[in-house]
């Protein structure tokens, strides 16, 4: 397994692979890899001859600079984890900020047909411009045939699909199901930063989503939302930032149920100073 830090090197590698007729998949990550990431890589290996895993903590998508500073950087252990899956069909692109941004660490400004203003967009200023900037650059550098993203960041997944559509980027974007801990907590690199009592409390998020899905079978979206808000108002450790039942295409909150629309419940919760997100399909 080779680890590249230079974009020209990774571009040359992919070009040589494609000249041989090989297909290339990309799994973009910020490192601190876990089983959820490995599931994405495994999906990539099933459908491609070679998989590039990018490991880059992207500064432009952090609205909280303290969060950027604290984000775990564990390249050595990340590579070791990837080697447990394959040692000859995975390559790592772990660039510096300079290699990616060439001294101009600013986001491009994107329009994602309003997707960027819903949910996370309301609480994380400029976040999706940062996401769009790094994903577009990675697609340009790596030029993959396929790219894999987790459904835990469902809004991000929809925005990446919109990016590909609007810029006519020749990449097939695949969303992969949420990988969970045994207790139901959605796997995230942030979970490692949870203090013990918050780690013990955090599975309450998924339990509440499961209960909300059951209630959605007989109650309105508003009633379900009110119930969820009440559950967290009564919780002494977890603080609800938002709970929204939204159309999966527009990501706008639904006003009434419809069998013609696919909807999901989205949630963001603070466990002390760690922000956790999750979602679940409701129909």
The pLDDT value recorded for residue 214 is 98
Please state, for a pLDDT cut of 90, what percent of the chain lies above it: 90
The tens digit of pLDDT for each residue in 214-270 reads: 999 999 999 999 999 999 999 999 999 999 999 999 999 998 898 889 999 999 999
Q: Around 159, how many Cα atoms within 13 Å sit in the side-chain half-sphere?
A: 25
Q: What is the pLDDT of residue 63?
A: 81
With helix as H, strand as E and coil as C, how does 2-59 read?
CEECCHHHHHHHHHHHHHCCCCEEEEEECCCCCHHHHHHHHHHHHHCCEEEEEECCCH
Residue 37 annotated as catalytic: yes
At residue 251, the pLDDT reads 97
- Of residues 37, 127, 179, 235, which has the active-site annotation? 37
Composition of the chain by helix, strand, coil, percent to 5: 45, 20, 35
pLDDT in tens, the chain (283 residues): 899 999 999 999 999 999 999 999 999 999 999 999 999 999 999 999 999 999 999 999 988 888 888 888 999 999 999 999 998 999 999 999 999 999 889 999 999 999 999 999 998 888 999 999 999 999 999 999 999 999 999 999 999 999 999 999 999 999 999 999 999 999 999 999 999 999 999 999 999 999 999 999 999 999 999 999 999 999 999 999 999 999 999 999 998 898 889 999 999 999 999 999 999 999 9
Contact 7, 98 (CB under 8 A): no
Give this prediction's pTM.
0.94
Angle subtended at Cα 143 by Cα 163 and Cα 277, rounded to the nearest 5 degrees: 45
> What is the predicted pLDDT for the residue at 72?
83
CA distance 245 to 238: 20
Q: Would you say 31 and 189 are in contact if contact means Cβ atoms under 8 Å apart?
A: yes
Phi, psi of 166 (to 5 degrees): -70, -35
Separation of CA 186 from chain center: 11
pLDDT at 103: 83
């Amino acid at each position: 397994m080779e680890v590249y830090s230079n974009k020209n090197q990774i571009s040359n590698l992919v070009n040589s692979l494609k000249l041989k007729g090989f297909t290339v998949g990309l799994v973009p990550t910020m490192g601190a890899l876990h089983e959820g990431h490995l599931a994405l890589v495994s999906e990539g290996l099933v459908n491609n001859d070679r998989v590039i895993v990018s490991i880059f903590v992207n500064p432009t998508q952090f609205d909280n600079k303290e969060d950027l500073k604290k984000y775990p950087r564990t390249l050595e252990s990340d590579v070791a984890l990837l080697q447990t899956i394959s040692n000859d069909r995975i390559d790592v692109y772990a660039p510096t900020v300079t290699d990616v941004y060439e001294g101009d660490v600013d986001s491009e400004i994107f329009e994602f047909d309003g997707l960027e203003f819903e949910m996370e967009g309301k609480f994380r200023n400029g976040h999706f411009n940062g996401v769009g900037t790094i994903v577009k650059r990675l697609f340009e550098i790596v030029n993959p045939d396929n790219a894999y993203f987790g459904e835990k960041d469902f809004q991000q997944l929809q925005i990446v699909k919109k990016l590909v559509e609007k810029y006519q980027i020749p990449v097939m974007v695949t969303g992969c199901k949420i990988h969970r801990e045994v207790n139901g907590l959605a796997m995230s690199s942030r979970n490692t930063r949870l203090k013990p009592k918050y780690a013990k409390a955090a599975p309450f998020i998924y339990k509440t989503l499961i209960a909300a899905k059951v209630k959605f079978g007989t109650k309105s979206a508003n009633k379900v939302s009110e119930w969820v808000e009440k559950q967290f108002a009564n919780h002494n450790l977890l603080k609800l930032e938002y709970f929204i039942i939204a159309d999966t295409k527009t990501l706008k909150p639904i006003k009434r149920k419809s069998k013609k629309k696919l909807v999901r419940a989205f949630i963001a919760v603070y466990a002390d100073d760690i922000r956790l997100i999750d979602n679940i399909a409701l129909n």
